[in-house]
Structures are given as C-alpha cells and as structure tokens.
Chains A and B, each alone.
Chain A
Amino acid sequence: MSAPAAPTATIRVDGLSKRYGRQQAVDRLTFAAGTGQICALLGPNGAGKTSTMRMLVGLSTPDSGTAHIAGEPVSLGAAVLRRVGVLIDGPAFVPHLNGTDNLKLLWAAARRTWPPPGLRDALDLAGLGAAIDRKVKGYSMGMKQRLMLAQALMRLPDVLILDEPANGLDPAEIRALREHLAALAKAGATVLISSHQLAEVQQVATHIVVMNRGRRVSSGPLADVLAANPAHRSLEDAYLAMTDGRHQPTDAMTEGHRDAAR
C-alpha cells in the first residue's frame, strides 16, 4: 500500500521498521490517526502491534522510518509525551506504595503539580474505592489494569496509546472504558488501541489498522473496511480473512484517514 500519512494527523507513522535479531517485528509500517478518531491496531500475536506502540512512545528506536505525535518526532522522554496517556506492556507500579502514591509518583516524575486535571473522572473509571489507599502488591490483575488506565487518563491527554486496555476488565468495566474513550475522542483526543477483542473493537473504533507479520495489511475507517467485502458480516470476519493470507490489501480505505486528519 502507498503511504497515506496525513501531515495534520495527530499520530503519524511513516515507513517504520524494527528488527529484533532475525525477527522482523515491524516492516515499513505507515499509518495515521487524526483528531477525534479511535484507531484500533489489530493483528495476531507477533504481528508487531506492541513493537509499533513502543516506537510510537519512544521506548524503542526504529531501525528506519519515523513516528510523530502532534507533529513532533517521538524519542525517549520527548516533551510531547506529556500530552500522551500510555498503557503499554501491561500495568507496572511500585508494589510497596498504595494506588494514590503510585499515581502521584508517575505524575510528579514529569515535574507536574498534583492533582492532575482529569483525576476525578479517571478514578471514577478505575472504581477502586477504598482500595486506592491499599498497597498495590495486594491488587488483583484487573485492579492494576484499572489503576494503570487511571494513570493514562488522569492527565486528560490529547493522545491515548493503549495496549490491550481491556485486559482483566469485566464486561461492565469494559463498557465504562468504551464510553470514556468515546467521550475523549468526541472531545478531540486521538486514541490508538491494540486489542484482540474484535467485538469490543467493532463497538468503539472509528478506524482500524490491521497488521500481520510486521506489515500493514489494511487500514482505514472501520465502516469502509467492513463495506469493502459484503461477505464480511463483522470485523471478526474481515480480520480473519486479512490475517490468514487470503485478503488482498487495498488502498481505498486510506482515503478516510486523510479525511479524518484534515
């Protein structure tokens, strides 16, 4: 597919490649996501989703290609990351500190004054109640995930990059997260999520990028991807067709990206 990178896109990835030893994790990946979009990065395990997200937030240096957020190139510790809420490679906290102290620690690390602007809503979404004042080492996986989401959301970011955000959440929590993300996108944020929960993605995403073996196999507005083949009744149908090698990549869907980014 040709490069669809839109100059005004909030997230822009151009020809991104990354190799770990013999493994080509990401291969000349190009896509863009604009304001108000919820873009889902899809693909089977090992497709390169998390590697892409790592490069997008500066945690990994691409072998070639560039990643931009809000027009600024991203590198490790880049200032533009102050505008980005991140959940990547699962939750991580200081185990002997409580939930609030962990949030304060990650907030203060970037020389910011407590409290963050979106703290109340983020904590409402996390729904930890009195457990927020308990040591994190006693949290369940789901509680850690919700606290990490609160950490990403409390800064009211312009850009959200969430790797498997629904992991460990129950259906009610997933719905609450979906509504929160939709509200943020409506308010002008750009959201990039990776997920294997295709039914969930179909409810929340406006756009998708499908990867397989490090390469993009499809991208564009979700509706366009689904409409491209009438035989595909759901995102799951389309996704499975794309990732088992029978799908022919198409550029038609990239127009939506340009439209959204304008």
Chain B
Amino acid sequence: MLRVELTTQLMRLRTLIALGFLAAVPVLAGLSFAPEAGHRNGTQTGLFGASPYSALNHTMASLEFIGPLLLPVIVCLLATVIASADRDWGLLRYLYVAPVTRARLLTAKLAAVAIATALALGCVLAAGFVTGLALFGWHPFHRIGSPNLSTGDAIARALAASGYTLLCMLSIAAIAFTLGVLLPRGAEALAAAVAFVVAASILNGQSALHAVAVALPVHYWQNWVGLFEPGPAGGLGTGALVQLATVALCTAVSLAVLHRRDPAA
C-alpha cells in the first residue's frame, strides 16, 4: 500500500512542481546573494546575514527563510492529498474491496506523509546546500559577531536543526492529514490547513496572545535557530514534546475517524 500511495501522490506533476518550487527559493536567494560571496549580506543579522559565507550557512539561512510559511504550506498540500485523494477520486471503495484493511491503509498513508514531509524538507536542504556550494564554496560556518563553528560542530548542529524541523513539519503534516480525513473534500482540508498555518503564525506574532501561542506547534518551529547563536539553544525540548504530542493526537483522531466512518456514507 505504501508503494501505491507513493506512486499515486509523489509522482504527480503537481507534487513535483511543489517540490521544485521549494528547491527554487534557495537557488534564487543564492543567486541574489552571489555578488556578496564571502561577505555579510547587507545589514542583515543572524543566519540571513551570514548566508553568503559558506554552503552550510546558505543551507541554514534557506531553511530559516522557508521554514515558517512556504515549507509548511507545501507539507499541508502533500499531506491533505495523501489523506483524501483516493476518496476524492472514488478509488477508496475499490481499495477497500481489493481488499485493504483500515489499519493497513492508515499505516501506508501515514508512512507516505512522513516520506513526503522528509522529501519536502530534503528539497530545501539539498537545494540550499548545492547552491551554496556552487556559489559560496565550502568554508567554516560563519556566525556574525561570534567565532566560526568548526566543521564537525556545524554539521552536528545542522543535523540537529534538520531533525527538529522535520519533527515540526511532521506535526503540521499530521494536522493537515487529520483535516484531510475529517473533511469531505481534499481542497477543503488544504484550505483549512493553510488557514491554520497562517492564523497560528499571526497569533504567534502577537505578544499579547502569548498564552495562546505557546499551545500552538507553530510557536516552536524556529527554536532551532538558537543552535547557531552564542549560548545554549532554548526551548528545543519543549518544542519537540509539543510536536510529538500534536502528531500523537492527530494520529489518534485520524484512526478514530477512519474506524468509525462508514466509507459509503
């Protein structure tokens, strides 16, 4: 069933376009920074300011730029399609009579969502790294106003940041997947998931609504940036727990909906 899900969803033209779009952003950003290779990016600070210093700098800056909105929107697209496309096409009834059990169907879909999410993140990282390598070269990880990171330390932190972001994207994928299972049409689920990302991001930006924001997975998505700043990175453990709790809750809801809903209803 996993192969069925991957064949029907990941090899679609729209999926490839979406992934290509994700990859295009680091490439275009790299090209715009190319004249400043080896120098600070204007007056920018943090990862954006250090982007033209090395391949790894550009990779992490790309992730910081795409992570809050574009990446989760694409992940929502992939997850809602995996959750709902076979029902939208009417194919679900023929999968059930193939026969495929509910448990097997859900397992395959969740695995496909995880693979698609990892693929979307991988596109950003790979495009950022290859572009950075071609335009800025392989140099020590530069930090503005702080000592450079050694190669080993930078790679370890980059892997930790990527893993954390993957977990964050899995949480929004789980939300989008659940909406895809709950709502009657995939388009409705996608709209609801994207609306959630946008609304949560706006809420997260309002200091007066901090008490609400801390309950949202979106609140913790950029915590990994602290890994590349002086001093200890804060909030990663809490962020990881919130994402894991979101994934677990959404998986349970999806399972309950699939088990209770009559496929012919």
Binds A, one of B20-28, B49-57, B88-96, B130-138: B88-96
Residues 98-137 of B, flagged 1 when their CB comes within 8 A of A and 0 if not, give 1111101100000000000000000000000000000000
B3 contacts A58, CB within 8 Å? no
> Within the complex, what minimum Cβ distance (angstroms) separates A67 from chain B?
13
A76 contacts B98, CB within 8 Å? no
B91 contacts A92, CB within 8 Å? yes
Q: Does A209 contact B (CB under 8 A)?
A: no
Known contacts A59-B263, A81-B98, A109 near B4 by CB under 8 Å:
yes
Determine the distance from Cα of A101 to Cα of B4 in the docked complex, in whole angstroms.
10
Determine the distance from Cα of A92 to Cα of B88 in the docked complex, in whole angstroms.
10
Residues of A within 8 A of B104 (CB): 77
Q: Does B8 contact A (CB under 8 A)?
A: yes
CB<8 Å pairs between A and B, sample of 8: A51-B264, A58-B99, A59-B97, A79-B99, A81-B96, A94-B86, A109-B98, A151-B94
Total inter-chain residue pairs, C-beta < 8 Å = 82
A105 contacts B96, CB within 8 Å? no
Known contacts A59-B263, A109-B4, A109-B98, A89 near B93 by CB under 8 Å:
yes
Residues of B within 8 A of A96 (CB): 12-13
> Within the complex, what minimum Cβ distance (angstroms) separates B262 from chain A?
6
Determine the distance from Cα of A107 to Cα of B7 in the docked complex, in whole angstroms.
14
Q: Does A139 contact B (CB under 8 A)?
A: no
Residues of B in contact with A, size category: 20 to 34
Residues of A in contact with B, size category: 20 to 34
Within 8 A of A (CB), among B135-176: none
Determine the distance from Cα of A118 to Cα of B3 in the docked complex, in whole angstroms.
23
Q: Which single residue of chain B is at the shortest CB-CB distance from A102? A: B91
Residues 83-114 of A, flagged 1 when their CB comes within 8 A of B and 0 if not, give 01010111111111100010001111110000
Residues of A within 8 A of B263 (CB): 59-60, 76
Residue from A51, A59, A76, A88 whose CB has the most chain B CB atoms within 10 Å: A76
Q: Does A227 contact B (CB under 8 A)?
A: no
B94 contacts A77, CB within 8 Å? no
